[in-house]
Amino acid sequence: MKKQNMKDISILYIDDDKTLQNSLAKYFKQMFGKLYQAYDGAEAYTIYRVYKPQVVITEVVLQKKNFFELIADIKSLNPNVIVIVVTKHKDELEIFESFDFGISEIFLKPLDIKKLHKVFMKFFDEPKKEVIKKTKQIKPTTLTVKVEPKKAPPQKEIKKENKPKQIKPTILSSTQKAFVELEKIYKSTKKVVCFNSYKGIVVNQNALLVELQKNSFSLKATNPLLFTMNYEKHTIIQLSNSTFIYAVLLKKYDDSTLIFVKPRFLTHKPRETSYKRLQVDKTFKASISYKNTLYEVKVLNISYEYIIFTMETSLIFFKPSDQIDITLGFHIDAPSSIIKEKQFKTIFANGIVKRLDKNEKVTNCIVNLNIQKAGQSVFTKYLKQRELELVTELKYKIKFT
C-alpha cells in the first residue's frame, strides 16, 4: 500500500507544557501539512471532532478529560487514527507496552526527535524536496575483456558443533502478573471484592468476573458499584488483606457489565469504608496563613484528620513539614427544625503540610488537620451532615441514571 506524504497529513499535539508545545510545534509544522494544538483532554476532543487529524500525539496526564476516555472517544470516531503516547513515568511506559490499546508508539520524556522521526517514516513518506535536474554526460564506450580465474580446489567442510541455545527466563510485567491472578479467580469462584467511591462515599461490594480476554476482563456488578465505577473510570479489586489490583474502565458491555483494561498491583491499601474523606459543598470556604501571609484556597475534600486543597503553584510559600494556620467556614443545619435556614460557622485549625503534588499551574496540598477545641463539635456536625447529603445524592443518581 502506497504511503501518504507527510505534507498531506494533519496532526494533533496534546500537552499542558506550553514550553514543550512551542518547541515541538516548529518541527511538526515543518514536517506535516497542518498542526493542531491542545492543552487538556476536553479541548483535544473538541478539536478532534471538528478536524479529525490522522495523527494524535498526547501526554498521559491530562486535565478536564481522562486520557483513556479521550483515546476511546477518538478511536470511536476514527479507528485508524495513529496514536503516539508520551509520558515521563517509567511505570506508565511499562503498563502501556503490555497492553494493546490501539496505541502505535510510546515514548519516554524527554522526547527523542530522531526516534520520533523514524516512527513517522514507518507510516508516511517524507515531504518532497526540490530536485535540480542535471544534464547527462555521455561517457565513451570502453571494451572490456573478462578473464576467468582458475577455479580453486574444493575445500573440505568443517562441521561445527551445535551448542544448545540458552533459554532466557520470561519476566512478567506488572499487568501480566495481574492477569495471572485474575485467571486464577476466573477458573475458581469468579467472585471479587471491588472498591470505588463517589465524592468520598466508599462503596465496596462483590462483583462477578464473567469474562477474561488477553488484554481485558469484564465485571458484572450491582447498580451502586456500576455507578461508582463509571464515575471514577476505574475500580480497585481486593485479592487479599494486603494485595489490591487497580484497573481502568474501558467501556460498558451491557446494563450490568463493564469492561476493564490495564490491571496493575497497587502499592498501597485503599481507604477503609469507615474513613471518609468527603468532597465539600460549594459554599465551603477556607483560607490559610503562613508567616503573616493570607490566601484563600479551594478545598477539594476533607476529613476529621486531613484537608486537601489546591493553590496556584506560583503562590506556594510553604514546604512539607511546615505548620500553617487554617480558617474554615461552612453552613450547618439550624439547631431547631422551626428555623429552616442554615447557619454559617467559622472555626480555626492548624495543620502540618504532608505532601505537595505540583504541576505547572496548580498544586494539590495534603495537610494533616488539627481543629481547635472550640470548633470540634460543630466541625463533626458538618462532616456528618455532609456525609448524609452525599449518600442521599448518590442514592438519587443510582435510581435515576
* pLDDT single digits (tens) 304-313: 899 999 999 8
CATH number at residue 217: 2.30.110.10
Length of the chain: 401
Predicted confidence (pLDDT) at residue 99 exceeds the cutoff of 90: no
Both ends of the chain: CA-CA distance in Å?
47
Q: Which three cell numbers mark 172? A: 512478567
Q: Note down the domain range covering 316.
A: 278-397
Label residue 169 by pLDDT band (50, 70, 90). low
Q: Which of 76, 93, 77 is nearest to 85 (CA)?
A: 93
pLDDT band at 132 (very low <50, low <70, confident <90, very high): very low
Contact 15, 56 (CB under 8 A): no
**57 and 19 in a common domain:** yes
212 within some domain: yes
Alpha carbon distances (Å) from 9 to 49, 81, 113, 118, 124: 16, 11, 18, 16, 9
Query: Domain tally for the chain?
Result: 3
DSSP 283: T
Residue 157 lies in a domain: no
Pair 372, 305 in one domain: yes
C-alpha cell at 239: 485479592
**What pLDDT score does 165 carry?**
59
Are 229 and 307 in a shared domain? no
Mean pLDDT of 197-203: 89
DSSP conformation class of 273 = T
- pLDDT grade, residue 71 (50/70/90)? confident
Tens-digit pLDDT profile for residues 334-344: 665 555 678 89
User: What's at 336, amino acid-wise?
Assistant: S
Sign of the alpha-carbon torsion through 172, 174, 179, 181: positive
The alpha carbon dihedral of 16, 18, 24, 28 has a sign of: positive
Q: Is residue 167 part of a domain?
A: no
Same domain for 115 and 23: yes
Sign, CA torsion 220/226/230/231: negative
pLDDT attached to residue 298 = 93
Distance CA 157, CA 159 (A): 6
Examine the domain organization and report whether 14 and 99 are in the same domain. yes
Instruction: Give a yes or no: residue 203 inside a domain.
Output: yes
Q: Which three cell numbers, joined as nine digits, stand for 219? A: 465485571
The answer to whether the beta carbons of residues 191 and 206 sit under 8 Å apart is: yes
Q: Are the C-beta atoms of 237 and 225 separated by less than 8 Å? A: no
Question: What CATH number has the domain bearing residue 297?
Answer: 2.40.10.220
Query: pTM for the full model?
Result: 0.54
Q: What is the overall mean pLDDT for the chain?
A: 82
So what's the pLDDT on residue 119? 84
Same domain, 367 and 337: yes
Higher-confidence residue of 74 and 166: namely 74
Asked if residue 64 is part of any domain, the answer here is yes
Note the pLDDT tens digit of each residue in 17-49. 888 888 888 888 888 889 999 998 889 999 999
